[in-house]
Amino acid sequence: AKPTVPSGVEMTPQDLVEKIKSNKQARRGILVGWHFVAAYCISLCEYSRQRLARMTASGIENPDSQMGAYAMNPQDYDQFATMLDPMIRDSHGIPTDVDIAPQNDWDTGGTACDLGAIDERLKDVSMRVRVARNVSTFPLPGAMSREQRVAFESVAAQAFAKLIEDPAFGGQYLSITPGSPHEIDADEYGQRVQAHQMFKDMSTDPYLTVAGISADWPHGRGMYVSRDEDFLVWVGEEDHLRIMAMQHGGNLNVLFERLRAGLETLTGLLPPFATSPTYGNVTSCPTNLGAGMRASLHMKLPGLTSHGSDLTRLKREAKKIGLSVRGAGGEHSGAGKDGRVDISPSARLGAT
């Protein structure tokens, strides 16, 4: 289908060029600023310029962004590679002469990783591994209409109806779409968010709001959760699907196998996933391209976070060893009072 240009594109390409220049003068670090080529933008036809304006709006309006752009259609990465490829390589530290084509495999046989066996003190951690996936039959979340969000949720719910019959993954689908047959009330939604299972209200996130990704909240949003609550699928968050395995404990091998099996099962129940020949699995944000994977550890570090009040020191120390730190409530959240934080490898695309 012809890629959609969602409504609400207020900025003209000339505005876009001027805004980028002012961000550059202010020396703000967003990648879209440093890799934006005005001549490239002007060279595009009006339709493509509108699409480019839509993709970069979040970074232009939020100059504290890291990347500053979100894809709106699966084809964007290949159709706008002139600008996006340098940004992607810059963000993932991949030299221009290195082939990006990701080599992914699920075999962790050679690496036993049970944190509790490595260090007694790491028995009280929880671990999750997730992959982001988008199907090729819908625009990406930033360009979906409310009808498309609800239609996609219905496609996912049909897949979950089959997954429920699988003894290894049986569970339930919980929707927050008003009027959905699977709708849960505000109390249960709040409890699931508190339990670090369901994603929080996206309409308060300035980056996702400008990108159109949180539009129509809460329509088309929900979560599949297995009976053991160790296999979850977010529907309609930053990507169409966030498929994750989680556990209290730190045995990465077990977790990886749970996720692999769940992903394999779901793949057979859904429309084809959107992929790019260059970048692998297509995601809304270029930071998640490739395997779409993030593996994270929730652990309590009260000493390094001044009892949860300050992440600065921990972020600095973690960065030295290739790790990134988020609050326990996810991106842009603070640590829990007990110093609970989310720690994950910074490496994404380009790491096997």
Compute the distance between CA of residue 83 and CA of residue 49 in angstroms, rounded to an integer. Answer: 12
DSSP state, 120? G
Centroid of chain to Cα 304: 27
**Residue 17 φ then ψ, to 5°:** -60, -45
* 65 vs 247, beta carbon nearer ligand DAR: 65
Give me the catalytic one of 51, 89, 128, 242.
Answer: 242
Out of 130, 133, 192, 221, the active site residue is 130
DSSP-assigned states of every residue in 262-296: HHHHHHTTSSPBPEETTTEE--SSGGG-BS-EEEE
**Which of 54, 287, 305, 348 is an active site residue?**
287
Minimum distance of ligand DAR from residue 68's CB (angstroms): 5
Q: How far is the CB of 285 from ligand DAR (least distance, A)?
A: 3
Q: Shortest gap between Cβ of 66 and ligand DAR (angstroms)?
A: 4
Nearer to ligand DAR, 209 or 251 (CB): 209
Cα 10–Cα 11–Cα 13 angle in degrees, nearest 5:
145
Give the residue among 96, 33, 44 at the shortest CA–CA distance from 66: 33
| Minimum CB distance to ligand DAR, residue 287 (Å) | 4
Q: Is 113 a catalytic residue?
A: no
- Shortest distance, position 77 Cβ to ligand DAR, whole Å: 14
- List, in sequence order, every residue forming a beta bridge with 299; answer none if it has no partner: 341
The residue from 128, 221, 326, 348 that is catalytic is: 326
Whose CA is closest to 238, among 298, 183, 294? 294
Nearer to ligand DAR, 41 or 57 (CB): 57
Quick one: 207 or 256, whose CB is closer to ligand DAR? 207
Known active-site residue 238: yes
Q: Give the binding site for ligand DAR (CB under 6 A).
A: 59, 65-68, 207, 238, 285, 287-288, 331
- Count of H-run helices and E-run strands, the chain: 12, 10
Residue 331 falls in the annotated catalytic set: yes
Contact 331, 345 (CB under 8 A): no
Matching residue, tokens 């994270």? 296
Is residue 49 within 8 A of residue 13, CB to CB? The reply is: yes
- Say which of 149, 192, 237, 285 is annotated catalytic: 285
326 is catalytic: yes
Whether 294 sits among the annotated catalytic residues: the reply is yes
Choice between 65 and 296, CB closer to ligand DAR = 65
Residue 226 Cβ vs ligand DAR, minimum distance, rounded to whole Å: 24
Residue owning tokens 């719910």: 157
Q: Is 275 a catalytic residue?
A: no
Residue 93 zone, left/alpha/beta (φ > 0; ψ -120 to 50; rest)? left
Active-site residue identified among 294, 305, 340, 348: 294
Which is closer to ligand DAR, CB of 92 or CB of 149?
A: 92
User: How many CB atoms sit inside 10 A of residue 9's CB?
Assistant: 17
Checking DSSP bridges between strand 293-300 and strand 126-133, what pairing results, if any? antiparallel
The residues assigned a catalytic role are: 130, 238, 242, 285, 287, 294, 326, 331
